[in-house]
């Protein structure tokens, strides 16, 4: 009888937690542009942009990008260079390369329709289990389980207790729990609710436990504040190098110069160096050479010898017709004469 009683108790808790969090979300959830649509393309763009990017920062980029590319076909038929320009300085630039590749695959292999099946979605470039589940749920309203960091934290605290100093549950256990919690016919609201609750209320360092709507059913209550206070702090690190001195920053500045140049034949490396200097970014040619190589490796730039950089160049013609994601055009960043090359968007 004890097992049956425990099962009934769990079902009661699950039902209460679902109802409470969905109700909380309907009263407190943010009005975000991707929550006003079920368009699979716009949902996909939002999920790609939002990974490790704050919501407030992502919104204007999302709106500009979807205005420029309102459909998957619009992106698939555009040169990658245009996609990079529309992406702007959001960062995480490899994502736009993968999104461009995904758009072309969807048009060529899926008749221009974003797949609804998470198992198919994960086969597309740059789409992992979380993004696949989010698109299936938020665009197609499929009752599928998935979770991000916020959802992981909420479910762990409610069902297993504080996640500090060490998690009490393994990821596999939480995945199984998440799968059993998705309410039939209401997966969209449930997944949005758990995600939003973790982002706004049950936060990592300062959860609002004193006004938590599920505190009576939370395994971390009332000990969560104490657990956080007692959790060992990470040792202080030596002062890190300035972000402005990082390769990520330099890559972003190089891409910004290429976007702003607009010329189809790009810029010579020394011109990029001069432009960066005017922006008070001093960088030597060897370091700039390395940044360009890394952009080329990621499919974000192409290089050709300056003397061969007109539009009739075979390497340039290929890049214009279809982005060379995995291969460098002739005259790529392989030799020592890189200072004499011209850099273009793909």
> Over 50: is that where the pLDDT of 261 sits?
yes
CB 276 within 8 A of CB 321: no
pLDDT tens, 122-165?
999 999 999 999 999 999 999 999 989 999 999 999 999 999 99
Which tens digits make up the pLDDT trace of 74-122? 999 999 999 999 999 999 999 999 999 999 999 999 999 999 999 999 9
HSE value, Cβ hemisphere, 13 Å, CA-based, for 107: 14
DSSP character for 165? S
Q: Is residue 240 over pLDDT 80? A: no
Alpha helices (H) in the chain, listed in sequence order: 2-28, 40-50, 55-68, 72-76, 80-87, 94-109, 118-121, 129-140, 149-160, 171-181, 187-200, 224-230, 247-261, 269-278, 285-297, 314-321
- Token readout for 148 is 């991000």
Residue 71 confidence (pLDDT):
98
pLDDT band at residue 321, thresholds of 50, 70 and 90? very low
Clarify whether 47 is annotated catalytic: yes
pLDDT at 327 over 70: no
pLDDT at residue 325 is higher than 80: no
Q: What is the pLDDT of residue 149?
A: 94
Mean pLDDT of the chain: 88
pLDDT of residue 304: 85
Give yes or no for residue 298 having a pLDDT over 80: yes
Radius of gyration of the chain (CA): 24
pLDDT at 324 over 70: no
Residue 126: half-sphere exposure toward Cβ, Cα within 13 Å: 20
Query: Angle formed by the axes of helices 269-278 and 285-297, to 10°?
Result: 110
What contacts 119, CB < 8 A, 6 or more positions away? 132
CB 298 within 8 A of CB 323: no
What would the two tokens of residue 315 be? 């390497």
Taking the C-alpha atoms of residue 318 and residue 340, their distance in angstroms, rounded to an integer, is 21
Instruction: List, for residues 17-76, the tens digit of each pLDDT value.
Output: 999 999 999 999 999 999 999 999 999 999 999 998 999 999 999 999 999 999 999 999
φ/ψ (deg, to 5) at 239 = -50, 125
What is the Cα–Cα distance from 199 to 195, expressed in whole angstroms?
Answer: 6
What whole-number distance in Å separates Cα of residue 135 and Cα of residue 118? 8
Coil, helix or strand for 187?
A: helix
Residue 235 has pLDDT above 80, yes or no: no
Residue indicated by tokens 């100093």: 165
Q: Which among 110, 47, 44, 41 is positioned nearest to 74, based on CA atoms?
A: 41
pLDDT at 295 over 80: yes
> Does the structure show a pLDDT above 80 at 6?
no
Q: Cα-Cα-Cα-Cα dihedral of 11, 17, 19, 25, to 10°? A: -160
In sequence order, what are the residues at sequence separation of 6 or more whose Cβ sits closer than 8 angstroms to the Cβ of residue 101? Answer: 125, 126, 323, 325
pLDDT band with cut points at 50, 70 and 90 for residue 239: low
Identify the pLDDT of residue 265: 84
Of 27, 47, 67, 296, which one is the catalytic site residue?
47
Mean pLDDT value of segment 280-294: 89
Q: Comparing 97 with 326, which gets the higher pLDDT?
A: 97
Q: Is the pLDDT of residue 305 over 90?
A: no
Q: What is the share, in percent, of the chain residues with pLDDT greater than 90?
A: 75
Give the number of other CB atoms < 10 A from CB of residue 269.
22
Whole-model pTM: value is: 0.85
Q: What is the DSSP string of 264-279?
A: TT-EEHHHHHHHHHHT
Q: What pairing do the DSSP bridges indicate for beta strands 302-305 and 341-344?
A: antiparallel
């Amino acid at each position: 009888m004890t097992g049956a009683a425990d099962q009934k108790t769990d079902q009661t808790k699950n039902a209460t937690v679902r109802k409470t969090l969905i109700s909380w979300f309907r009263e407190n959830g943010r009005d975000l542009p991707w929550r006003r649509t079920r368009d699979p393309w716009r949902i996909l763009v939002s999920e790609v942009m939002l990974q490790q990017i704050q919501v407030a920062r992502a919104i204007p980029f999302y709106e500009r990008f979807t205005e420029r590319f309102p459909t998957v076909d619009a992106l698939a038929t555009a040169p990658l260079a245009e996609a990079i320009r529309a992406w702007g300085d959001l960062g995480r630039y490899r994502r736009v390369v993968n999104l461009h590749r995904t758009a072309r695959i969807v048009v060529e292999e899926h008749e221009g329709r974003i797949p609804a099946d998470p198992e198919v979605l994960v086969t597309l470039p740059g789409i992992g289990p979380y993004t696949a589940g989010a698109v299936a749920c938020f665009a197609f309203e499929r009752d599928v389980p998935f979770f991000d960091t916020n959802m992981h934290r909420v479910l762990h605290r409610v069902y297993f207790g504080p996640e500090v100093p060490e998690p009490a549950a393994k990821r596999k256990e939480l995945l199984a729990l998440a799968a059993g919690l998705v309410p039939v016919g209401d997966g969209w609201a449930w997944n949005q609710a758990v995600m939003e609750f973790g982002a706004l209320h049950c936060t990592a360092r300062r959860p609002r436990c004193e006004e938590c709507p599920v505190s009576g059913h939370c395994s971390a209550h009332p000990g969560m504040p104490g657990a956080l206070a007692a959790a060992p702090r990470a040792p202080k690190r030596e002062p890190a190098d300035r972000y402005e001195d990082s390769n990520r920053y330099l890559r972003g500045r190089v891409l910004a110069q290429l976007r702003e140049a607009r010329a189809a034949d790009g810029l010579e490396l020394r011109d990029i160096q001069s432009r960066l200097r005017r922006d008070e970014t001093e960088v030597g040619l060897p370091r700039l050479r390395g940044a360009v190589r890394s952009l080329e490796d990621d499919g974000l730039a192409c290089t050709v010898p300056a003397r061969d950089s007109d539009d009739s160049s075979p390497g340039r013609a290929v890049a214009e017709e279809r982005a060379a994601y995995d291969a460098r055009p002739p005259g790529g960043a392989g030799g020592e004469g890189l200072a004499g090359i011209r850099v273009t968007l793909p």
